[in-house]
């Protein structure tokens, strides 16, 4: 088995601390990555031990050898990096690359680690070429690479020939990637999305290849295998979308982003490859090695093991909801049976699919790994775990059946649209803002309780958890209206009941409700109602949005109190 490992830094994937002052960012960054090639003597220009130069590169002169490049300035500041390397690695041998970054060339990050991204390469065409993931580095200007080459137990010697380091800064303050409405579309219409012009501007519109059309009869789901939350320095999810476009378009040479659609954890949908939003034709993307006859949708994040220091999570309910809407639109448009299997032309022309799927028949809604078995683990075990539910919800949407609330996905964040949230049957206001793109609200009253809500998670492990209530920001429906300053939260935990008043008139998105001991299971919950003591005539808005449980290591019994 060929072993390729690359050890690389990535602030979103590894425990690296990037040091140095943050420099001012250009408002019009160049989205074409800078590519720097390291070959020959340059691979060992910084340090060398136990290695010998060959006509093509470097190899160990004993059982193990180590080389380092010099500290290398990139042509421009960067926040994202991608590596391509050429190495001959016999069975049992290894080539391990490490890298670090610096903002000023003096204070450096630690060395970090990553594995080869098999989804980016084609070992049948280029057996010695490997690619890294797209890596977030934070604000950087310098990079350095260290390589350890180890011979096999039988003496087979590896050889590193070339490393190409591509870097880019995709941040762009002039691009408007405002979130669209996340309300469910009428029927099975195409859902709202952030257009290529909105997230990418003229650089994306003017530097992408034109679309190629082929009728879609399969819908393939992916994950990006990167951080599940924005890292320090990432302004917005659109930064990551631009980085993906940049490396797919230029570094990988695909002429455009490889996916038809991208969905962030908040459920925001981004238009992907040129032509994907067409209401008449299906644009062919680069996402599963076959591509012709499919629509590729990627969820931003990591939903399976294998990404260092990024614990996998279940796809958020918001992203699942948007995925269902997107797949239902295309399934309705093309007459695709969400629960069926059929011949996929793209599979029939792929050496990674046809030999492993008899007759090139694959599920009509498939995870990437079902198209190319053994070649990839994408979209991760936890995403595959909800794919049957996604198929069923798409079928229900096509049949006109109102979808039930999505179940608690185990992330210990209960949104107001999940089954873990219950509320009174009285009249409510629902707005397209807040956590996951929606929120419920009503007006506070000094009379009897009229509207109430309860958040009840399934706690996996008994322990101490800190609670946070989400307070939506920028809701146009309530613009100019007063917000309650006396929201009465009641927490039922392992030691009793604790009540407190919290001010929702705040610019903070998450309101701290304190830390409490909870038993495993569903006995713990948070309750809120509209009886704040504020006169209804003052029209003070009270929000009922997400509540999050965050585990803490020690348990200290709180004091149970009565309601204020």
Instruction: Give the per-residue pLDDT at 4.
Output: 42
Query: How many separate domains does the chain show?
Result: 3
562 within a domain of the structure (yes/no): no
Instruction: Give the per-residue pLDDT at 527.
Output: 98
563 within a domain of the structure (yes/no): no
417 and 368 share a domain? no
Instruction: Give the per-residue pLDDT at 171.
Output: 80
Instruction: Give the per-residue pLDDT at 269.
Output: 93
346 within a domain of the structure (yes/no): yes
For residue 60, what is the domain's CATH number? 2.60.120
443 within a domain of the structure (yes/no): yes
372 and 422 share a domain? no
Going 368 to 371 to 373 to 375, the CA torsion angle's sign is negative
Q: Out of 344, 373, 398, pick the residue that ends a domain.
A: 398
How many Cβ atoms sit within 10 Å of the Cβ of residue 359?
12
119 and 217 share a domain? no
Q: Out of 168, 185, 211, pick the residue that ends a domain.
A: 168
Q: Write out the two tokens for 345.
A: 């032309």
For residue 356, what is the domain's CATH number? 3.40.80.10
Give the separation between CA 457 and CA 468, rounded to whole angstroms. Answer: 13
311 within a domain of the structure (yes/no): yes
Instruction: Give the per-residue pLDDT at 433.
Output: 84
246 and 273 share a domain? yes
Instruction: Give the per-residue pLDDT at 544.
Output: 96
Give the separation between CA 144 and CA 46, rounded to whole angstroms. Answer: 9
The CA–CA distances, whole Å, from 157 to 45, 63, 201, 279, 535 equal 21, 8, 48, 55, 80
75 and 223 share a domain? no
61 within a domain of the structure (yes/no): yes
561 within a domain of the structure (yes/no): no
37 and 151 share a domain? yes
394 and 417 share a domain? no
> Could you give the 3-state DSSP secondary structure of residue 313?
coil
The strand pairing partners of 298, in sequence order, are 222, 262
159 and 210 share a domain? no
Q: How far apart are the first and last CA of the chain?
A: 66
For residue 499, what is the domain's CATH number? 2.60.120.260
**H or E segment to which residue 552 belongs:** strand 547-552
Q: Out of 336, 371, 398, pick the residue that ends a domain.
A: 398
Per-residue pLDDT of 248-292, as tens digits, reads 999 999 999 999 999 998 889 999 999 999 999 999 999 999 999
Tell me what percent of the residues of the chain surpass a pLDDT of 90.
66
12 and 39 share a domain? yes
405 within a domain of the structure (yes/no): no
> Please, what are the averages of pLDDT over each run of 10 residues along the chain (564 residues)?
41 33 46 95 93 93 94 96 94 92 94 80 83 90 95 95 95 56 61 91 93 97 91 86 96 96 92 95 94 97 85 89 94 94 95 94 96 93 92 91 66 87 86 84 93 93 94 85 95 96 93 95 95 94 95 56 37
207 and 354 share a domain? yes
Going 56 to 61 to 62 to 65, the CA torsion angle's sign is negative
Instruction: Give the per-residue pLDDT at 182.
Output: 47
Domain around 257: 196-398
Instruction: Give the per-residue pLDDT at 536.
Output: 92
Who's near 485: CB < 8 A, 6+ residues apart?
A: 503, 504, 505, 534, 540
143 and 216 share a domain? no
40 and 125 share a domain? yes
How many Cβ atoms sit within 10 Å of the Cβ of residue 520?
13
Instruction: Give the per-residue pLDDT at 372.
Output: 95
Question: Contact, 240 vs 234, CB < 8 A?
Answer: yes
**H or E segment to which residue 454 belongs:** strand 452-455
């Amino acid at each position: 088995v060929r072993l390729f490992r690359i050890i690389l830094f990535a602030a979103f994937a590894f425990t690296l601390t990037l040091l140095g002052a943050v420099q001012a960012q250009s408002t019009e960054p160049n989205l074409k990555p800078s590519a720097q090639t390291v070959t020959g003597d340059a691979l060992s220009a910084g340090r060398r031990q136990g290695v010998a130069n060959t006509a093509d590169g470097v190899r160990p002169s004993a059982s193990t050898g180590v080389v380092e490049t010099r500290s290398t300035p990139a042509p421009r500041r960067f926040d994202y990096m991608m590596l391509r390397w050429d190495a001959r690695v016999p069975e049992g041998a290894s080539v391990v690359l490490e890298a670090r970054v610096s903002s000023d060339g003096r204070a450096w990050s630690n060395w970090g680690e990553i594995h080869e991204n098999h989804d980016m390469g084609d070992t049948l065409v280029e057996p010695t070429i490997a690619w890294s993931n797209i890596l977030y580095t934070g604000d950087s200007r310098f990079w350095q690479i260290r390589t350890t080459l180890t011979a096999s137990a039988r003496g087979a010697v590896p050889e590193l020939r070339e490393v190409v380091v591509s870097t880019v800064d995709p941040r762009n303050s002039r691009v408007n990637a405002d979130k669209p409405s996340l309300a469910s579309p009428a029927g099975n219409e195409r859902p709202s999305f952030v257009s290529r012009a909105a997230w990418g501007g003229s650089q994306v519109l003017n530097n992408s290849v034109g679309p190629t059309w082929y009728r879609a009869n399969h819908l393939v789901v992916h994950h990006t295998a990167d951080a599940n939350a924005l890292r320090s320095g990432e302004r917005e999810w659109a930064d990551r979308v631009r980085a993906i476009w940049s490396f797919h378009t230029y570094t990988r040479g695909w002429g455009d982003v490889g996916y038809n659609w991208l969905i962030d954890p908040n459920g925001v949908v981004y238009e992907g490859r040129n032509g994907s939003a067409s209401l008449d034709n299906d644009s062919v993307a680069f996402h599963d090695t076959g591509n012709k006859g499919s629509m590729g949708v990627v969820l931003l994040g990591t939903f399976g093991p294998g990404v260092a220091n990024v614990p996998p999570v279940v796809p958020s309910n918001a992203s699942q909801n948007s995925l269902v809407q997107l797949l239902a639109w295309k399934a309705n448009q093309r007459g695709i049976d969400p629960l069926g299997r059929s011949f996929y032309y793209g599979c029939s022309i792929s050496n990674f699919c046809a030999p492993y799927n008899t007759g090139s028949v694959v599920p009509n809604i498939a995870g990437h790994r079902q198209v190319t078995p053994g070649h990839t683990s994408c979209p991760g075990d936890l995403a595959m775990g909800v794919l049957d539910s996604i198929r069923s919800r798409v079928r229900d949407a096509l049949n006109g059946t109102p979808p039930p609330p999505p179940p608690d996905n185990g992330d210990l964040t209960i949104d107001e649209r999940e089954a873990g949230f219950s509320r009174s049957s009285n009249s409510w206001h629902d707005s397209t803002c807040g956590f996951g793109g929606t929120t419920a609200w009503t007006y506070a009253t000094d009379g009897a309780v009229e509207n109430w809500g309860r958040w009840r998670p399934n706690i996996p492990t008994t322990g101490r958890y800190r609670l946070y209530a989400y307070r939506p920001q920028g809701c146009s429906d309530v613009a100019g209206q007063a917000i309650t300053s006396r929201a009465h939260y009641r927490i039922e935990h392992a030691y009793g009941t604790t009540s407190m008043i919290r001010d929702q008139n705040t610019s903070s998105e998450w309101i701290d409700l304190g830390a409490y001991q909870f038993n495993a299971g569903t006995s713990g919950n948070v309750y809120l109602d509209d009886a704040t003591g504020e006169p209804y005539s003052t029209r003070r808005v009270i929000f009922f949005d997400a509540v999050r449980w965050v585990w803490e290591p020690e348990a200290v019994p709180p004091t149970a109190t009565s309601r204020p």
